[in-house]
Amino acid sequence: MSTFDDNQDMRAQSDELLLTGHTVPDEPGLVDLVATMRRTVDAPAPRPTPALAMLLRDGIATTATVPVRAAATARARRRLGRLWRYVAGLGLAGKIALGAGIAFAGVTGAATVGAVPAVIQAPARAVVNGVEHLFAPRSNVPVVPVPTSSATPGAATDTPRTTSSGERPAFSGHGPASRPTPGETSPGILLEGPSSQTARPGEATPTLPAQAATQATENADSGSATVHGKSDVAPSATPSAAARSDKAPAHP
């Protein structure tokens, strides 16, 4: 063992004595520093927070529910705050649409729920009856599938789903709300109405072969709204796009 190792060992022993609060000769500064730091432990204990004080007073069994309730309340407040921030961040059109939706849902609910007093239910029902015809299907007009002739791939996949004599009113709508979910019978797409009577700029108005129209009518009567026979219905559609047509949402 060299002199250097001896010095290292002695220094390590000296450090250990110093750190454990023993007096080490020739190092009064460090001894004072360590003593000062060790004295900080003798300072009065800080006050416990209310949550910890409750735990120390009641134990864990009775206090465990309090933080959970507080956390649930805090979560609910955060969600409400997020909702308000979302609504506040909407544009003017979004706020109008949201308000109209809420008003429509309120009126419809007041008209249909029997528990509502007649004073409220009667005018609400009158409003609903007033706008009901806008959504009702016209059964006297033959319903035919309208194939698309658009050359765009997205339009080529559109296959009309038709119904003519369904009891439920059919809505002519776009977007997720009008898409049938798997396992659910599609209510069909109403081809009548302003959107189907006027051709949009850039879109051709196709004419259907008689066979396709007949088959579509039969399918519609049997409850199936899908038109089979891709080559008859959508001549311009590619085979792969037509093969996907059963899953695609309808666009009039």
Partner 1 sequence: MHAGPVIDDFDEVLARARAGSAEAFTLLYEDLVRPVAAYLRARGVRDVEDLTSEVFLAVFTSVGRFTGGQVPFRSWVFTIAHRRLVDHWRSGSRSVPQAPYEPQDDDRSTESAENQALDVLGEERALELLAMLTDDQREVLVLRIVADLTVEQVAEVVGKRPGAVKALQRRGLSTLRRILESEAVTL
Which residues on adjacent β-strands are paired with residue 226?
161
Cβ 119 vs Cβ 145: under 8 Å? no
Nearer to partner 1, 34 or 213 (CB): 34
Cβ 141 vs Cβ 218: under 8 Å? no
**DSSP string covering 129-171:** HHHHTTTS--TTSPP--------SHHHHT---BB-SS-SSPP-
Report in angstroms how near the CB of residue 46 gets to partner 1 at its nearest.
4
Decide: is 57 part of the binding site for partner 1 (CB under 8 A).
yes
Query: Considering Cα of 153, then 196, then 234, then 167, what sign does the dihedral take?
Result: positive
Decide: is 37 part of the binding site for partner 1 (CB under 8 A).
yes
Decide: is 207 part of the binding site for partner 1 (CB under 8 A).
no
Contact segment (CB under 8 A) with partner 1 among 18-26, 72-80, 89-97, 154-162 equals 18-26
Contact segment (CB under 8 A) with partner 1 among 27-35, 116-124, 130-138, 212-220 equals 27-35
Nearer to partner 1, 50 or 202 (CB): 50
Q: How many residues bind partner 1 (CB under 8 A)?
A: 36
Task: Work out which of 1, 4, 39, 176 binds partner 1, going by CB under 8 A.
Answer: 39
Decide: is 120 part of the binding site for partner 1 (CB under 8 A).
no
Dist. CA 217–CA 252, nearest whole Å: 16
Query: Considering Cα of 86, then 90, then 95, then 97, what sign does the dihedral take?
Result: negative
Nearer to partner 1, 49 or 198 (CB): 49
Q: Footprint of partner 1 on this chain (CB under 8 A)?
A: 11-12, 15, 18-21, 27, 29-30, 32-34, 36-49, 51-52, 55-61
